């Protein structure tokens, strides 16, 4: 049985009933796939990035997703503006630090968003999230730990340092707010061959967070649901093209009960 028993089904049902509006300021590469993933699971995506529109748009939204791929200075400003408004309104912000660590623009943008807005969850891979930590952080083991237990300890320390919930995806996903740490299994080997599956994970965390105020359970159930959908899709696919299509079908077709029954969320 899954930790957070019943929560995956409950959150998915709420999304399908209430169709929360998810405001995305995200990268050009994944906009289409992200919108389709949100629609498939039952949420209502909107993409809006203009400086003179984002504050008004975020007022309508249940969550704000900020994704720093294909960045430019104007987009960083809009993200911070939207993020400040969301912080003021108490709406959850989910940050995807795509490529943080690869260039200064990206690392600095992610740090500026963290400093100037109230980010509820960061969803990224270990190296992206590590690049946001202080230079001598004890948390560095998060990407090179000898065991999952060591990685979980390091992730918890990092969450405390950054003051937010982390959703670190990889072979096994880790969600931690520094006190509670959960592991999530699932997914499929084809996932890294489809662009935007990580970004879609972030957007789904947004949808789940729009209906579940607890960042840890929102992130963990979103990743568990995506993992189940990935398994369903992978079983039918003959490559990354068909995987992408079957994944959207699965996000739409999986019932809350089946998603719950197959969720593999564990206490770490």
Rounded Cα–Cα distance for residues 247 and 253 (Å): 10
- Please list, residue by residue across 70-92, b when 16 or more beta carbons sit within 10 angstroms of its beta carbon and e when fewer do: ebeeebbebbbbbbbbbbeeebb
| Structural tokens at position 121 | 């969850």
Binding marks (x or -) toward its own copies, 57..76, rule CB under 8 A?
x--x--------xxxxx---
Q: State in angstroms the smallest separation of the CB of 244 from its own copies.
A: 7
* CB-based contacts of 171, cutoff 8 Å, min separation 6: none
Site for its own copies in 174-203 (CB under 8 A): 192-196
- Of 153 and 244, which has the nearer Cβ to its own copies? 244
Of the two residues 75 and 158, which places its CB atom closer to its own copies in the complex? 75
Nearest approach, Cβ of 155 to its own copies (angstroms)? 25
Which among 109, 103, 99, 119 has a CA at the least distance from the CA of 29?
99
Which listed range, 6-14, 35-43, 149-157, 212-220, lies at the site for its own copies (CB under 8 A)?
35-43
Is 112 a residue that touches its own copies (CB under 8 A)? Answer: no
Contact 59, 81 (CB under 8 A): no
Q: Does 56 bind its own copies (CB under 8 A)?
A: yes
Q: In this structure, what are the phi and psi dihedrals at residue 43, rounded to the nearest 5 degrees?
A: -85, 175
Binding-site size, its own copies (CB under 8 A): 55
| List of residues contacting its own copies (CB under 8 A) | 27-33, 35-36, 39-40, 45-53, 56-57, 60, 69-73, 99, 102-106, 192-196, 237-242, 244-253
């Amino acid at each position: 049985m899954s930790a957070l028993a019943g929560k995956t089904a409950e959150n998915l049902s709420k999304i399908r009933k209430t169709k929360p509006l998810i405001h995305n300021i995200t990268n050009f590469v994944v906009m289409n796939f992200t919108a389709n993933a949100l629609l498939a699971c039952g949420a209502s995506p909107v993409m809006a990035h203009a400086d003179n529109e984002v504050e008004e748009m975020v007022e309508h939204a249940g969550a704000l997703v900020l994704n720093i791929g294909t960045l430019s200075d104007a987009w960083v400003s809009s993200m911070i503006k939207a993020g400040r408004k969301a912080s003021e309104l108490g709406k959850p912000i989910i940050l995807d630090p795509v490529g943080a660590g690869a260039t200064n623009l990206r690392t600095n943008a992610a740090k500026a968003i963290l400093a100037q807005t109230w980010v509820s969850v960061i969803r990224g891979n270990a190296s992206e999230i590590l690049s946001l930590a202080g230079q001598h952080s004890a948390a560095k083991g998060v990407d090179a730990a000898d065991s999952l237990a060591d990685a979980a300890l390091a992730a918890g320390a990092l969450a405390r340092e950054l003051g937010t919930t982390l959703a670190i995806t990889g072979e096994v996903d880790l969600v931690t707010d520094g006190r509670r740490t959960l592991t999530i299994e699932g997914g499929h080997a084809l996932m890294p061959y489809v662009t935007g599956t990580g970004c879609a994970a972030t957007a789904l965390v947004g949808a789940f967070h729009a209906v579940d105020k607890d960042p840890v359970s929102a992130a963990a159930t979103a990743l568990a649901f995506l993992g189940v959908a990935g398994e369903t899709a992978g079983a039918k696919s003959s490559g990354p093209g068909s995987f992408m299509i079957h994944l959207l079908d699965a996000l739409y077709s999986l019932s809350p009960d089946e998603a719950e029954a197959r969720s593999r969320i564990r206490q770490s």
